[in-house]
C-alpha cells in the first residue's frame, strides 16, 4: 500500500501529481472542474477533495452529475454545458459510461461512425463567469481550473472574463478526442493575451500559470509527474490489493491442502494400524485353531485306545496283514 506521505493519483495522466507539486502547500484550496465526468475514475480533483479541497464540478451528463452529488457533497455540482453560446440550451451527444460526450456535432458523428452508441440530450447552457459568480467562490482565490470538454475547450474559455476571475493555474485538454492531434492553436492566443504563461504539455493537456503567480509556480509546473513526486496511482493500489487477495487465496488453499494431506496421512496411519491389528488377530486365531486341532487329536487318540485294544484282540492277525 501507499505510504502515509505518498500522494495517491486518480488522474489518467498524472495531472493531479503536477498540480499537487505546485499547490499542495495550500490548505482548503479551491478548484473548478469543467467536464468533470466521474467523481473518482480518472478524476484530477478527487485527491484534492480527499485532502480537504472543494470547488465546482461542471458536468452535463446527468448520470455523472448524480454520482458527484452522492460521493462529493462538499462540491457544488452544475449540471449544464459551459459555453459562450448565447443559446439557452444545446444538444449534448452522450456516450454513456465514458468521458467522450461532446457538444461538437462533427465529433459526435465520428464517434457514432466508429461504433459508439450516441444519445442526444438537450442540456442547459451557462457561462463560466456566471457559474463562478453564482457559486460565491469568485471573491476568493481559485487555485486551478480544469477544462476537458471533448473539443469544446475554446467555447469554455470564451465564457470567462479573465479580468474578473484569475485562476492561478489552468489545465486544458489540448488534443482532439482519442487522438494525438494538437488543438491548442484554436484557443491558446486568447490565454496568452489574458496574461497566462505556458508551462507544460504532458501529451494530453497543456498547463498555464497566471503571470502574477509565475515566479513561484512555473518552475513547479514545467515538468511532468516523476519519481521524485513520491506518488502512486489508484490503478497501482488496486493491483497491489488484487495481488494480495490472490496471495491470500493461495495461502488459504495451501493451508486447506495441508490440512487435507494431514488428515489423509492420519487416515492412512489408522488404516495401517488397523491392518496390523487384524493381521495379529488373524495370526492368533490361526495359532488357536492349530492348538485346538492338536488338542482334539491328542484327546481322541487317548479315548480310542481301549477300542484299538479290543480290535486287536478280536482280530489278532490284523496287524500282520
Of 276 and 79, more confident: 79
**Residue 292 CA to chain centroid, in angstroms?**
81
E-strand stretches of the chain: 7-9, 30-34, 54-58, 76-78, 81-82, 89-94, 119-126, 144-147, 169-173, 196-201, 205-210, 231-233
Q: Please tell me the number of Cα atoms within 13 Å of 319 on its side-chain side.
A: 8
- Residue 191's pLDDT band (cuts 50, 70, 90): very high
Name the pLDDT band for 205 (thresholds 50, 70, 90): very high
Interval 62-72 mean pLDDT: 96
Q: Record the cell numbers describing residue 7, joined without a space.
A: 500522494
Domains of the chain (ranges plus CATH)? 7-229 (3.40.50.150)
With bands split at pLDDT 50, 70 and 90, how would you rate the model's confidence at 84? very high
pLDDT band at 291 (very low <50, low <70, confident <90, very high): confident
pLDDT at 2: 45
When comparing pLDDT for 148 and 293, which is higher?
148
**pLDDT category of residue 182 using cuts at 50, 70 and 90:** very high
pLDDT value for 241: 63
Q: How confident is the model at residue 97, as a pLDDT?
A: 82
Residue 81 has pLDDT above 50, yes or no: yes
* Residue 225 near residue 22, CB atoms below 8 Å: no
pLDDT band at residue 169 using 50, 70 and 90 as cut-offs: very high
Question: What is the spatial distance between Cα 79 and Cα 125, in angstroms, rounded to a whole number?
Answer: 9
Distance CA(144)–CA(251), nearest Å, equals: 47
Identify whether the C-beta of residue 3 lies closer than 8 Å to the C-beta of residue 229: no
Amino acid at each position: 500500500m501507499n505510504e502515509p506521505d505518498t500522494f495517491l493519483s486518480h488522474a489518467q495522466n498524472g495531472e493531479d501529481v503536477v498540480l499537487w507539486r505546485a499547490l499542495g502547500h495550500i490548505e482548503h484550496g479551491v478548484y473548478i472542474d469543467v467536464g468533470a465526468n466521474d467523481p473518482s475514475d480518472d478524476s484530477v480533483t478527487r485527491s484534492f477533495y480527499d485532502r480537504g479541497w472543494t470547488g465546482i464540478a461542471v458536468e452535463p451528463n446527468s448520470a455523472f452529475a448524480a454520482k458527484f452529488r452522492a460521493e462529493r457533497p462538499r462540491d457544488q455540482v452544475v449540471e449544464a454545458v459551459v459555453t459562450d453560446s448565447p443559446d439557452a440550451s444545446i444538444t449534448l451527444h452522450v456516450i454513456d459510461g465514458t468521458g467522450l460526450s461532446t457538444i461538437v456535432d462533427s465529433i459526435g458523428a465520428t464517434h457514432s461512425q466508429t461504433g459508439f452508441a450516441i444519445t442526444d440530450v438537450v442540456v442547459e447552457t451557462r457561462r463560466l463567469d456566471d457559474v463562478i459568480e453564482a457559486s460565491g467562490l469568485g471573491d476568493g482565490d481559485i487555485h486551478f481550473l480544469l477544462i476537458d470538454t471533448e473539443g469544446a475547450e475554446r467555447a469554455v474559455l470564451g465564457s470567462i472574463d479573465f479580468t474578473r476571475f484569475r485562476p492561478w493555474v489552468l489545465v486544458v485538454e489540448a488534443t482532439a478526442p482519442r487522438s494525438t492531434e494538437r488543438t491548442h492553436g484554436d484557443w491558446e492566443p486568447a490565454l496568452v493575451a489574458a496574461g497566462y504563461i505556458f508551462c507544460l504539455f504532458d501529451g494530453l493537456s497543456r498547463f498555464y500559470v497566471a503571470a502574477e503567480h509565475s515566479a513561484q509556480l512555473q518552475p513547479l509546473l514545467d515538468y511532468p509527474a516523476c519519481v521524485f513526486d513520491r506518488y502512486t496511482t489508484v490503478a497501482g493500489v488496486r493491483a497491489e490489493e488484487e495481488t494480495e487477495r490472490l496471495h491470500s487465496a493461495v495461502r488459504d488453499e495451501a493451508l486447506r491442502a495441508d490440512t487435507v494431506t494431514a488428515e489423509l496421512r492420519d487416515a492412512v496411519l489408522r488404516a495401517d494400524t488397523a491392518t496390523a491389528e487384524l493381521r495379529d488377530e488373524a495370526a492368533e486365531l490361526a495359532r488357536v485353531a492349530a492348538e485346538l486341532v492338536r488338542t482334539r487329536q491328542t484327546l481322541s487318540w487317548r479315548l480310542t485306545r481301549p477300542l484299538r485294544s479290543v480290535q486287536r484282540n478280536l482280530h489278532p492277525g490284523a496287524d500282520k496283514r
